Amino acid sequence: ETGVTQTPRHLVMGMTNKKSLKCEQHLGHNAMYWYKQSAKKPLELMFVYNFKEQTENNSVPSRFSPECPNSSHLFLHLHTLQPEDSALYLCASSQVLGQREYGYTFGSGTRLTVV
């Protein structure tokens, strides 16, 4: 399998639940990203990892906790979320951080609904 794969595609969770989103890339990339996509708003960068090290936390609430065990896998652990956290969560990867000539490769996203 190639590209960036995100699971699950859809997730409904209660505000007291704990769940995790998974992202896996088979492109040999070394930088991975979490973005939040909400209606009528620009994509919001949440976290950046480069060679497994977190390089960016864009003022994300602590109820979102990322994990990057290796360059191919990225997780987003969720707990005690709020209804306003409902959105499409996109994972992306790139060869390395700091290459302005190349774009990202995105996964298909996880549609999260918090009830």
Partner 1 sequence: GNSVTQMEGPVTLSEEAFLTINCTYTATGYPSLFWYVQYPGEGLQLLLKATKADDKGSNKGFEATYRKETTSFHLEKGSVQVSDSAVYFCALTDTGNQFYFGTGTSLTVIP
Residues making contact with partner 1 (CB under 8 A): 4, 6, 40-43, 45, 48, 55-56, 90, 92, 94, 97-109
The minimum distance between CB 38 and partner 1, in angstroms, equals: 10
Q: For residue 20, how many other CB atoms are within 10 A of its CB? A: 14
Do the bridges between strand 110-114 and strand 10-13 make them parallel or antiparallel, or are there none, so unpaired? parallel
DSSP 3-state assignment of 83? helix
The minimum distance between CB 42 and partner 1, in angstroms, equals: 5
Q: Which is nearer to partner 1, 52 or 79 (CB)?
A: 52
The minimum distance between CB 17 and partner 1, in angstroms, equals: 24
Q: Which is nearer to partner 1, 84 or 101 (CB)?
A: 101
The pair of structure tokens assigned to 112 is 């999260």
Do the bridges between strand 105-106 and strand 110-114 make them parallel or antiparallel, or are there none, so unpaired? unpaired
